[in-house]
Each structure stands twice: as structure tokens, then as C-alpha cells.
Amino acid sequence: MSRESRESWEKEVDELGHQVEFAKQMGGTDSVAFHHSRGRLTVRERVALLEDPGTFHEVGALAGAAVWDDDRVVGLTPANSVTGTVRIDGRKVAFSGGDFTIRGGAADAAVGNKGSFAERFALEARIPYVRLLDATGGSVKTFEKIGRTYLPGNAGTNLSAELMQYVPVVSAVLGSVAGLPAVQACLCHFNVMVRNTSQVFVAGPKVVEQATGRSIAKEDLGDERIQVKNGVIMNLAEDEADAIGQVRRFLGYLPANVWEAPPSVQPDDDPQRREESLISAVPRNRRRIYEPRHVLEAVLDAGSFFEIGPYYGRARVTGLARVNGHPVGVMANHPKFNGGSMDIAAGEKTIRLIELCDTFHLPLVYFADEPGFSVGRAQEELGIVRAGARIVTTLAQSKTPYVCFVLRQLYGVAGGLHQRGTGLYRRYCWPSTHGGSMHIEGGAAIAYKRDIENAPDPEAKRQEIEARLQAISSPFRNAHAFGIEEIIDPRDTRPLLVDFIKDAQRVIATQLGPGHGPSYRP
């Protein structure tokens, strides 16, 4: 045997490959088959969907419970999570994925600090972080394994909260998720679940039955009918490939961290495009509704709008898009739902978008048709005034460039949110614009109450007063007093937006870094 052979570490390298193969078997053939029988992918199959092909670099593959025969490992049950990095569209991203084939992915069955290691790696490397969630919370089996119980702690969430201030964080809920993983599903800037496959809940059906005495199926407790509708989960996917595709697409609009500008792409849409449909997009009859997404399609880069939260707070459409290749945040009122007025859900959804844009330096584009805060006893009981104050404060504190195109109406304090007093801000009004402190119909009944009641024909008097007020509601009267800077041909919306976004890039270059917006709240 040569000296080189005696000094070689080839035997250990072979052993490394031997043990890695054990890890790739996950919970074993039977467990993987059972997982597949429920229509779910394994964690490693999910990673294959997440990555640019061939870019997966695993960290901690050998973590687990090994069975030794002298100096050789003859069996290895890996940790119930897979961690590492992949590239998405060429950019490095850190991730962790729960392995449900091993003890249901129970959070307290983890090995070492594997989960928090991935978060710490993302924070220190300043790269995005993705959670592929398919895991339960604590398990009483752990008590028996360690020979004691323990007091719960949430120290690990300090890192999760810090991470969100610096890099994009995404959670994909791909199975049944309870306890700590359910909270992690919301400790992010974007999350998605899968139709007929995913559930999210604080505690599963058996725990609920013990606590309440009532039996409930896991689907009725926390599937998309509950968690997408209430806004806990933002988006719904048709299958796991769709969910991971949405994760990849969301990250494509954001920089790797707050110290970098959002990634631009070469535009393939005419920046001077003037869509003829815009001239009649808003009906002349103020009581008629329209589809705001048609306006977005006509103004934003073709095919670039990625909607966030389409089933929650439906009076406000929100999402990400590109304008001449530059990423932007987008919001618009939807008159089909509650007249487009801002209720608590629409307000929370708007806050999420403003904070996302402020954190990651995306210009904010608003297509406004705001009748005001939603009114009525139900909203008052839910605290609409407090919610309104939150959104007023959030917008006032924001610094990202902000442009508003007023499509139709602006009323009350909520209508005033189309405007911001500081920072780069610009406003354009379509000829269909009208607004005020309150609607003429309700305001006339209050301001002219005595005149109406004392008239021989109160209804005719009311209509006369309203007609007189409507006659002076023209946006041109506002423009004469410079209350409106520019009334524009709706077909000029895209060229003007492209021009604003070009100006915004100079401002964004001065804002890179952390701390330019309010602290993100899940």
C-alpha cells in the first residue's frame, strides 16, 4: 500500500455518501408511500420544485439518530426537517422544510438547532428565507423520550421576527400545520396554502375535542375555507407545484435584502402604451360597478400583476407588479365588494402591502375609488375607528415613493389616504373624479335637515338640494383652485406611471437599508 493510500480519507468519504443515502430515505419506504397516498409530496420532492435544477445544497443531512455497528453506521433516522440553500432565478435562497414522514414533523422532535440554523444563515448571509411547512407542534412522545416535561418558550421567535426586518420571508403551508409551525406560517411577508390538502390551526382536532368536548374534522377546523377567508393565509394554490410556483414568483419582485434595490427585468411592454379601453373603464353612472383588474391589466406591464390576498378584504385588490420592468406594489378599490369601502379586513390588507413596500423599497401605486370607511354597527363593534387610525398612521410613516391615480371617488378620512404629506408623492385624476368630506346624498340630509323638513314637498326639496350640490362637484372646479394638480386622459395613465417609476428609482437609491418603514406586523 502506497503512502498516499494510507493517508487517503477515501474510506470516510465513502462512509459520508453511505450515510447521506440513509438520510434521503427519510422516514422509510412505508412512511413515504403513506405520505404519497394522501396526495402529498415529500419534503425532498418539494425542494426539487423550489430550486433552479441542480442548485440544492443541503446543510445538516447527517443530523439524526444513528445505529452503529462498531465503527460503521448501519441505520440512520434523519432529523424531521431538511435545510439548506437553493437558487431561484439564479439568486441564492435559504430554506427549511418539515418532513412529515418522520414523527409527523413534530416541532419538538427536531435535532439540535437545525430549524433556527436556517433562519440564522439567511439573516447573516442576507438572503431570502422560505419555509416549506408540513409539521405539527409539540408531541407528548417527547416527554417520554427525554424523561420529563418542560416549560414552553418562544425564544426562537425573536430570530424569526428579526429576520423579517431584513430579508424576504415566505411560508408555504403544504400539509397539516399546528402549534409553533402554525405561528411560523404567519411570521412572513407572504404565505400560501393548498386547496383540499393544507390545514392550519393552533391545535388539532383531538386537542380541541379534549378542550371543548366537541368533535371536529381537521378540514372544518382550519382548511382554506377558514384560513384564506379570514386572511391568516394570503393565497390559495391548486396543488403543491402551484404553491411553490407562487413562492418563486413572489420572491422575483423583491430584493435579496433591504440593502439592495428591487430586481428589475428587461421590459417587453411599450412604456407609451395607451389602452383605448381606459376611456370608458369607469361607468358614467356612479352607481354602476366595474372590474378594477381590467384597469391594472391595461396600465401595468402585461402579465406582471401578482395578486396577494384575493379572498380576504375583497374591497381592496392588492399585489405586486412591474412597471417598465421595475417592481411595484399595487392596490385598488373594488366597487363590487362593499362598494369598495375600507372595512377592517381591507385596512389590514392595505397595511401589509404598505409595510412590505416600505421595507423592501418598492414604489406604491394606488388606483383609488374610495367611498370612505365602511359604516354601520357591525364595523363599529369590530373597532373600525381604531383600525382606521392604524392605517392612517402606517401611510403617514411610510417613505417609499407613492403615486395615486384617482379613478372615481374619494370621501372622508379613508378617501384622504390617497394622499401623503411627505416624501415623493404624485397624484393624477381621471375626469370621473369626485369627492369631499362626505357623500352629497347623506351630507345634504344632515346639513339641510331643517330646510327639507319644512318644505311643502320634503322629497322634492331634498332632490333639488342634491342636484345643486352635484352640479358643483366637477373635478374641473377643483382644478381651477389647484385642488387637483392634473386631470388626465385615462389613456395617458401608463405613460405617466412609467415616468413616475423612473423618478422613483433615484429616491429608492437613497433609501436602501433597514428602518425606513414601520415595524412589520404579521
Q: Is residue 428 within 8 Å of residue 488, measured between CB atoms? A: yes
pLDDT in tens, the chain (522 residues): 566 667 888 888 988 888 888 888 887 888 888 888 888 999 999 999 999 999 999 998 888 788 888 778 888 788 888 999 999 999 999 999 988 888 665 655 566 677 789 999 999 999 999 999 997 765 545 555 556 655 555 556 789 999 999 999 999 999 999 888 899 999 999 999 999 999 999 888 888 778 888 888 888 888 999 999 999 999 999 999 999 999 999 999 999 999 999 999 999 999 999 999 999 999 999 889 999 999 999 999 999 999 999 999 999 999 999 999 999 999 999 999 999 999 999 999 999 999 999 999 999 999 999 998 888 898 899 899 999 999 999 999 999 999 999 999 998 888 888 989 889 999 999 999 988 755 555 555 556 567 666 778 777 767 666 666 666 667 888 888 888 899 999 999 999 999 999 999 999 999 999 975 444 455
Superfamily of domain 276-433+484-511: 2-enoyl-CoA Hydratase; Chain A, domain 1 (3.90.226.10)
The answer for residues whose C-beta is within 8 angstroms of residue 248's C-beta and 6 or more apart is: 50, 88, 89
Q: What is the DSSP letter of 150?
A: -
Would you identify the CATH topology of the domain 10-251? 2-enoyl-CoA Hydratase; Chain A, domain 1 (3.90.226)
**Cell numbers standing for residue 393:** 398612521
Domain segments of the chain as ranges? 10-251, 276-433+484-511, 438-474
Query: What is the rounded distance in angstroms from the CA atom of residue 258 to the CA atom of residue 167?
Result: 6
DSSP 262: P
Q: Characterize the bridge pairing of strands 57-59 and 81-88.
A: antiparallel
Q: What is the pLDDT of residue 107?
A: 53
Query: Can you give the pLDDT at residue 518?
Result: 45
Would you tell me how many other CB atoms lie within 10 Å of the CB of residue 400?
Answer: 26
- Residue 472: which of 493, 430, 444 has the closest Cα? 444
In the prediction, which pLDDT does 479 show?
A: 80
- Distance from chain centroid for Cα 508: 21
- Residue from 188, 180, 170, 211 nearest 200 by CA: 180
Same fold, 10-251 and 276-433+484-511: yes
Q: How many CB atoms lie within 10 A of CB 92?
A: 16
Amino acid letter at 101?
Answer: T
Q: Which helix (H) or strand (E) holds 405?
A: strand 402-411
The residues facing 307 across adjacent strands are 319
Tell me how far apart the alpha carbons of residues 193 and 199 are, in angstroms, rounded to a whole number.
Answer: 8
Q: Give the contacts of 158 (CB within 8 A, at least 6 positions apart).
A: none
**Which residue, among 106, 102, 95, has the nearest Cα to 50 in the 3D structure?**
95
Cα 493 to chain centroid distance, Å, stands at: 26
Beta bridge partners of 192: 172, 235
Q: At 341, is the secondary structure helix, strand, or coil?
A: coil
Note whether 61 and 43 are within 8 A (CB). no
Give the β-pairing of 91-98 and 129-133. Answer: parallel
Task: Return the residue matching grid coordinates 438572503.
Answer: 127
Q: What angle do CA 497, 503, 506 make, to 5 degrees?
A: 145
